[in-house]
Structure formats: structure tokens, C-alpha cells
């Protein structure tokens, strides 16, 4: 009976344990979590979501405070088109977060950064270019392009000296999305180094509509593998979404995938950035507690716990401090939904916004409890303690359980 350890992910002449920890933001996939994956010979992600705030918390910088002070005059204004990110400060924050992580790297694995196209920041092209190129400047091993088609993202890095050196990949959920990406980037003569195929059971934002349940990861992997064969493209495919055991992973590795990306089980690791109390909420969740809704201003459906405090919260838009989801005209779907409620409740009290959520503020405060479809099974991966709480696990324990387990077994902690 095969184990994940019987397979290897190959980039050129180098081989890696085919386990990739997904890039959960905001700083949920911490540097510490990514570093453990790399130390163990796999690949770990950090996220560049809201990286100025992450830098403030990690390195005692003042990026958010400075931005808030600069735009203080606009706090009560519903028009947020004035709010821009200082590109120099954005670059500085990215280089700090990525650079410090890379300096701490040990082992034979790799560190990637997950970069969301949907963080439009009121200047989609300019801010994305800074984030991508600053990560390359700081020595990141690779970049995973997520939350969007990224049709122009390769071009934004094309002049960087590491454009053909770093590992660059894309997350897709269909053959069509991959075809669009490859067609758009073909003129650069630069193929992606890996393709992550994310199915409908993944956590957080989904690359599907609310008909997500009609799709199946194994089918999508098979379709993309056939497309790659037809086009004579030899690019590693990475299966992601709902892969809960090493046996689940092996089934994909035997059927066209070169690696797997996992995240849900690592949300309750000691190295994960979620606060301890929220990890216990994940442990306690039942299958009925996991829902998919449309409250994200990005336009993508999002999977989360039903009890997440972000649902129905009516806080004032906090764009002066954050503003990561402002589009190129300074608009955000949450601002629109909030203003509609202000018309009904002009005193600003007792406001509940059910249609959308202020994703920036709630993700920053760990009040948007996004999760994978298998979160309800987390309680079966550990031991319940005498006080009624569940024992958190080391990232190494979880990683090695994926790597060496067989027959759908899950190793409990000592």
C-alpha cells in the first residue's frame, strides 16, 4: 500500500516531499508554519494578504497607523476614491515579511507566497505589481497566483531578473480558466512551473458559483491532466480541496497529480496564526456548522463556520486603515451594502449588514472564520482534554501523518 512518501514533486533536477501547505491569510499561514513545511522537505506558503498590517504586528512597524492618520479626514465620507496605498511603504512591508521568513528558512524545502488578485487596493495593477516584484526582491522561492485569473500578472513580473528563476504557479478550478491564463501569457514564452487545481471543497473563497456542489476535484484534475497531455505540456499538477488524509492524497498522486495542497488540518496546528479560542471553534464544529455564502465583497462564494462573527456585522467601513478590496474606482460591495442600511438607520445604530461583510477588518481581527469542508473532522485528529478542550497539534505531526499514513488512518498525538 503506497504512502505519500513514495512520491516526489520534481522541479527540474530537485525533488520535494509532495505536500504543500496552502497560503491562508491574514497571517493564518504564518511564517512559522511555512518554515516547518520547508524544514520537512515540502513547500509552505505565507500569504501577502494585508501585509502592511502583518508587518505591524510582527515587526512593530507603523504602516496602518500612518495610513489611517493620513486619510483621517475621509473617515465619515462614503466616497473612498481618494484612498491609495503608498507603493513604497507597501514594498517595504512585503520585503520585511518575505525577507525575514526567507532568512529563517532551514531544510531542503521551499517557501512560496500566496498572492490574491482580488486584493485590488484602489489601484489593481500598480499594487499587484509592487507585491509581486517585492516578494521576488526579498528572495521568495516561488509565487502562487490566487483569487483571480491573473491574466496580466506574469507580465507585471516579466522585467524582474528573477522572473525565470523563481517558481511561479497559478490556482485554477477548471480547464477553461487554465486555457485563458496560458493563452494570455503565451507571448512571454514563460510557462507556469506548477498548477494548483482547487476543487469545490476547499476553504475560504471558491473558484465556483453557488452551484459548487455539482463539481468534483477528481474529475477536474482528470480533465486538466488530459488537456496537458493533448497540449504536450509537462507541468506539475497539484490537487487541492478536501484532501484530509494521506490516503486521500495518494489517490490523486496515482491519478495525474504531482503533489497536494492542504490547509484545513493545519488550522489547528500550534504554528497556525489563529487565536487559541478560535482553533477550539474549529475543533467543535459539526458538518452542519459549515456553510457557503456570498457575503464576500470579492464576488466569490466563501466557505466558513455558521457562527462566524463577520456574518451580519454592521461595522463602519474601515478603508482609511485597510481598504484592500477597493476596486479601481474606490468602490467595494460592502460599502454599498452598508450605505443602504444607513439610509434605513441614519443614526448608524443597530445596523446589521447581511448581504456582505467588511472582509478587511474582520479578517484582520480573526472574526471571519473561513474553513474547509472537512473542518468537522478535525476533532477526530486529536484528543479531547479533561477540561473539554481539544489538544492542538504540531505542524510536524500533521505533515508527517500526511506523508506516512496508510489505509485512511490518522495518527493521534501522544
> Tens digits of per-residue pLDDT, 29-55?
999 999 999 999 999 999 999 999 999
- Residue 370 to residue 147: CA distance in whole angstroms: 15
Q: Check residue 130 and give its pLDDT.
A: 98
Selection from 274, 324, 282, 273 nearest residue 304 by Cα: 282
- Residue 28 to residue 162: CA distance in whole angstroms: 27
Q: Check residue 414 and give its pLDDT.
A: 87
Q: Check residue 347 and give its pLDDT.
A: 83
Determine contact, residues 383/390, Cβ cutoff 8 Å. yes
Selection from 184, 306, 204, 55 nearest residue 170 by Cα: 184
- Residue 154 to residue 189: CA distance in whole angstroms: 10
Contacts of 42 (CB under 8 A, 6+ apart): 16, 17, 18, 19, 20, 21, 109, 399
pTM attached to this predicted model: 0.97
Exposed/middle/buried for 193, CB within 10 Å: 0-12, 13-18, 19+? Answer: middle
Residue 177's H or E segment, with its range, is: helix 175-185
Hey, what's the cell of 235? Answer: 507541468
- Residue ranges for the chain with pLDDT beneath 50: none
Hey, what's the cell of 34? Answer: 511555512
- Residue 101 to residue 109: CA distance in whole angstroms: 13
**Is beta strand 194-198 parallel, antiparallel or unpaired with respect to 167-172?**
parallel
Place of cell 505531526: 397
Phi and psi, residue 144, nearest 5° = -105, 120
**51-59 vs 87-103: helix crossing angle, rounded to 10:** 60
Amino acid at each position: 500500500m503506497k504512502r505519500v512518501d513514495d512520491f516526489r514533486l520534481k522541479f527540474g533536477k530537485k525533488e520535494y516531499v509532495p505536500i504543500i501547505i496552502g497560503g491562508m491569510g491574514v497571517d493564518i499561514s504564518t511564517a512559522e508554519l511555512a518554515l516547518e513545511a520547508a524544514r520537512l522537505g515540502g513547500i509552505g506558503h505565507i500569504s501577502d494578504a494585508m501585509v502592511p498590517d502583518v508587518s505591524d504586528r510582527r515587526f512593530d512597524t507603523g504602516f496602518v497607523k500612518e495610513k489611517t492618520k493620513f486619510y483621517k479626514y475621509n473617515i465619515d465620507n462614503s466616497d473612498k476614491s481618494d484612498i491609495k496605498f503608498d507603493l513604497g511603504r507597501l514594498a517595504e512591508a512585503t520585503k520585511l515579511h518575505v525577507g525575514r521568513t526567507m532568512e529563517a528558512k532551514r531544510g531542503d524545502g521551499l517557501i512560496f507566497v500566496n498572492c490574491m488578485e482580488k486584493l485590488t487596493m484602489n489601484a489593481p495593477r500598480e499594487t499587484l505589481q509592487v507585491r509581486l516584484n517585492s516578494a521576488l526582491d526579498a528572495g521568495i522561492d516561488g509565487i502562487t497566483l490566487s483569487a483571480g485569473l491573473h491574466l496580466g500578472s506574469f507580465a507585471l513580473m516579466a522585467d524582474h531578473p528573477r522572473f525565470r528563476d523563481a517558481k511561479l504557479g497559478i490556482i485554477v478550478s477548471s480547464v477553461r480558466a487554465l486555457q485563458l491564463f496560458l493563452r494570455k501569457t503565451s507571448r512571454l514564452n514563460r510557462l507556469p512551473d506548477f498548477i494548483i487545481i482547487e476543487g469545490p471543497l476547499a476553504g475560504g473563497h471558491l473558484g465556483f458559483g453557488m452551484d459548487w456542489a455539482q463539481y468534483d476535484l477528481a474529475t477536474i484534475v482528470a480533465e486538466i491532466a488530459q488537456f496537458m497531455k493533448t497540449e504536450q505540456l509537462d507541468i506539475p499538477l497539484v490537487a487541492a480541496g478536501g484532501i484530509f488524509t494521506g490516503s486521500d492524497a495518494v489517490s490523486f498522486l496515482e491519478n495525474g497529480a504531482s503533489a497536494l495542497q492542504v490547509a484545513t488540518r493545519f488550522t489547528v496546528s500550534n504554528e497556525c496564526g489563529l487565536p487559541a479560542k478560535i482553533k477550539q471553534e474549529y475543533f467543535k464544529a459539526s458538518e452542519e456548522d459549515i456553510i457557503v455564502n456570498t457575503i464576500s465583497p470579492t464576488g466569490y462564494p466563501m466557505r466558513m463556520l455558521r457562527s462566524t462573527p463577520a456574518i451580519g456585522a454592521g461595522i463602519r467601513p474601515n478603508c482609511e486603515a485597510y481598504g484592500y478590496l477597493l476596486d479601481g474606482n474606490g468602490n467595494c460591495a460592502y460599502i454599498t451594502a452598508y450605505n443602504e442600511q444607513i439610509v434605513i438607520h441614519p443614526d448608524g445604530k443597530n445596523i446589521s449588514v447581511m448581504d456582505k461583510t467588511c472582509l478587511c477588518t474582520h479578517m484582520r481581527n480573526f472574526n471571519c472564520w473561513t474553513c474547509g469542508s472537512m473542518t468537522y473532522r478535525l476533532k477526530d485528529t486529536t484528543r479531547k482534554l479533561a477540561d473539554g478542550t481539544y489538544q492542538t497539534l504540531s505542524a510536524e505531526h500533521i505533515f508527517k501523518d500526511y506523508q506516512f499514513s496508510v489505509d485512511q488512518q490518522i495518527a493521534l498525538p501522544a
